[in-house]
Structure 1
Amino acid sequence: MKNEKNDGERSKRPSFLRVLKTVLAAAIGVQSRKNLEQDSQQASFRHYVAAGLILISTFIATLVCIVLLVVHFTG
């Protein structure tokens, strides 16, 4: 019976891409309260931390690349 409950919980967990989408929407400020509450009940805290770190790292790397390109082409 315990395994059935765990299997049911696993099937309810959102994919990592869904968690990334949720974190990105929350960072931009366009996610509805309903979706936020639904996602927070299904995924674990670790998933959101990992997704946040990935998005922050990607954002910083993008900014660094843009600055390097601007500096390179201006001179």
Structure 2
Amino acid sequence: MNHFTSPKLFISPKVKKLGLELIQEFYIQQTARLAFYLDVNPSFNGHEAVFFWIRNYLEEYPEASFSEIRNHFTRLVPQY
């Protein structure tokens, strides 16, 4: 079972690793309202929004490094 999102949602180990790094680096709370900025399902909490945004980003840029992901995230979300 994936303990980081609700059981009906699946994320790969790579997405989970990158998402946790981003969440820890920016101290993102589950209550963060990020779905609007990241253009993911608005019902996602802050952590889920990060995980699914990274999943979508990696579908478009499969070889993206963490620094590329972090830089793109900071351009999309003004408070980070």
Would you call these one fold, judging by a TM-score over 0.5? no
Q: Which has the higher helix share?
A: 1
TM-score calculated relative to the size of structure 2:
0.28
Rg: which structure is higher? 1
Q: Larger relative contact order (C-alpha < 8 A, sep ≥ 6)? A: 1
